[in-house]
Structure 1
Amino acid sequence: MNVEEIDFLGRVDKALNDSQMRKAVPLVQDRFRTGWMEAAEDLGNVEEWKEIASKIRSHTIENLDSYLEQLAANVRKNGGHVHFAAKAEDAISYVVNLTKEISAKSVVKSKSMVTEEIHLNKHLEEIGVNVAESDLGEYIIQLAGETPSHIISPSMHKSKQQVAKLFSKEAGRTIPAETDALLKFAREHLREKFLKADIGITGCNFAVAESGSVVLISNEGNARLTTTLPKVHIAIMGMERLVPTWKELDIVVSMLTRSAAGQKITSYMTVINGPRLPEELDGPEEFHLVILDNGRSDILGTAYQEVLKCIRCGACSNVCPVYRNIGGHAYGNVYSGPIGAVLTPLLKGYEEYKELPYASSLCGACTEVCPVKIPLHDLLLQHRKDEVEKGLAPLTEKLAFKGFGYMTSHPFVFDKAVKMAHASSAFISKDDHIKKGPGLLKGWTEVRDLPRPAKQSFRDWWKKEKGGQ
Structure 2
Amino acid sequence: MKVDLSFKGVTGRAIADRRLKTAIDRTTMTAETKRRLALMDYPQFEAARARGTAIKDHVVANLDHYLEEFERNAVASGAVVHWAATAEEACGIVVGLCRQAGARHVTRAKSMLGEEIGLPHALEAADIERVETDLAEHIIQLAKEAPSHIVWPALHKTREEVAELFRVAHGRPQDSEDVPAMVESARRQLRSLFLGADVGISGANFLLADTGGVCTVTNEGNAELTTTPPRMHIVTAGIEKLVPSLPHAYALLRLLVRSATGADITQYTTFHTGPKRAGDRDGPEEFHIVLVDNGRSRMLATGLRDMLRCIRCGACMNHCVVYRQIGGHAYGATYPGPMGAVLTPALEGVEKTRDLPHACTLNGRCQEVCPVGIPLPTLLRGWRDTSWKEGLVPGSVRAGLWAWRFVAERPRLYRLATAAAVRAMRLFGRRGWIAGMPGAGGWTDYRDLPAPAGRTFMEQLRDRKTGR
TM-score normalised by structure 2 residue count: 0.92
Aligned ranges 1:398-417 → 2 under 5 Å: 398-411=398-411, 413-414=413-414, 417=417
Structure 1 residue 91: Cα displacement: 0.4
Summarize the Cα distance change of 1:366–1:237 in structure 2 as closer, same or farther, 3 Å threshold. Answer: same
Q: Report if aligned partners of 2:86, 2:292 keep a CA contact under 8 Å in 1.
A: yes
1:11 alignment counterpart: 10
Instruction: Provide the residue aligned with 2:48 in structure 1.
Output: 49
Aligned to 1:240: 240
What is the correspondence of 1:61-460 to structure 2 with a 5 Å cutoff? 61-171=60-170, 175-176=174-175, 177-411=177-411, 413-414=413-414, 417-418=417-418, 421=421, 428-429=427-428, 436-439=436-439, 441-446=440-445, 447-449=447-449, 451=451, 458=458
State the SS of the aligned residue for 1:300.
helix
Q: May I ask how many residue pairs the two structures share in their alignment? A: 463
Inter-CA distance 419–71: structure 2 relative to 1 (3 Å threshold): closer
Q: Is the 8 A contact 2:147 2:329 kept in 1?
A: yes
Give the AA of the match of 2:27.
V
Distance 2:450 2:27 in 1: 33
**Runs of 5+ consecutive residues of structure 1 not aligned to the other structure:** none
| Matches of 1:111 and 1:181, distance apart in 2 | 22
Q: Distance in 2 between matches of 1:313 and 1:395?
A: 38
Amino acid at match of 2:247: K
Per the alignment, do residues 324 and 466 of structure 1 end up closer, same or farther by CA in structure 2, a change over 3 Å counting? closer
Classify 1:399/1:246 alpha carbon distance in 2 versus 1 (closer, same or farther; 3 Å).
Answer: same
**Aligned equivalents of 2:337 and 2:403: distance in 1?**
33
Instruction: Report deviation, 1:208.
Output: 0.2
Moved more, 386-395 or 308-317: 386-395
How much does 1:458 deviate? 2.8
CA offsets 1:401-453 (integer angstroms, 9 cap, x no match):
1122222223454455456546869x9437598765445x4434444447468
Ranges in structure 2 where 5+ consecutive residues have no aligned partner: none
For residues 265 and 180 of structure 2, the distance between their equivalents in structure 1, rounded to whole angstroms, comes to 25
Q: 1:435 to 1:134 in 2, by over 3 A?
A: closer
Supply the AA of the counterpart residue of 2:299.
I
SS in 2 for 1:240: helix
Query: For the residues of structure 1 that align with 2:265 and 2:412, how far apart are their CA atoms?
Result: 63
- Match of 2:131, as an amino acid? A
- 1:368 CA displacement: 0.7
> Residues 401 and 17 of structure 1: is their aligned pair in 2 closer, same or farther, counting only changes over 3 Å?
closer
Q: Is the 8 A contact 1:421 1:453 kept in 2?
A: no
Distance (whole Å) between structure 2 residues aligned to residue 419 and residue 57 of structure 1: 50
User: What's the CA shift for 1:467?
Assistant: 8.5
Q: Deviations over 1:200-229 (max 9, x none)?
A: 000000000010000001111111111110
Contact kept, 8 Å, 1:418 with 1:457, in 2: the verdict is no
SS at match of 1:237: strand
- In structure 1, the residue matched to 2:21 is 22
Query: What is the rounded CA distance, in whole Å, between the counterparts of 1:203 and 1:291 in structure 2?
Result: 10
The answer to whether the Cα contact below 8 Å between 2:172 and 2:185 also exists between their aligned partners in 1 is: no
Question: For 1:316-336, what per-residue CA distance to the aligned partner results, in whole angstroms no more than 9, with x for missing partners?
Answer: 112112111211111111211
Q: Is the 8 A contact 2:171 2:189 kept in 1?
A: no
Between the aligned residues of both structures, percent identity stands at 40
CA distance in 2, matches of 1:465, 1:343: 47
Q: Following the alignment from structure 2 to structure 1, what is the Cα–Cα distance between the partners of residues 68 and 315?
A: 31
Tell me how far 1:17 sits from its aligned partner. 3.1
Residue identity in the other structure for 1:30: M
Higher alpha-carbon deviation: 168-177 or 256-265: 168-177
Q: Distance in 1 between matches of 2:342 and 2:68?
A: 28
Offset at residue 49 of structure 1 (A): 0.9
Most deviating of 20-29 and 142-151: 20-29
Instruction: Measure, in 1, the Cα distance between the counterparts of 2:220 and 2:429.
Output: 59
More off after superposition, 401-410 vs 208-217? 401-410
Hey, what's the Cα distance between the residues in 2 that align with 1:421 and 1:339?
36
2: CA distance, partners of 1:430 / 1:252: 51
Q: Give the letter aligned to residue 107 of structure 2.
A: V
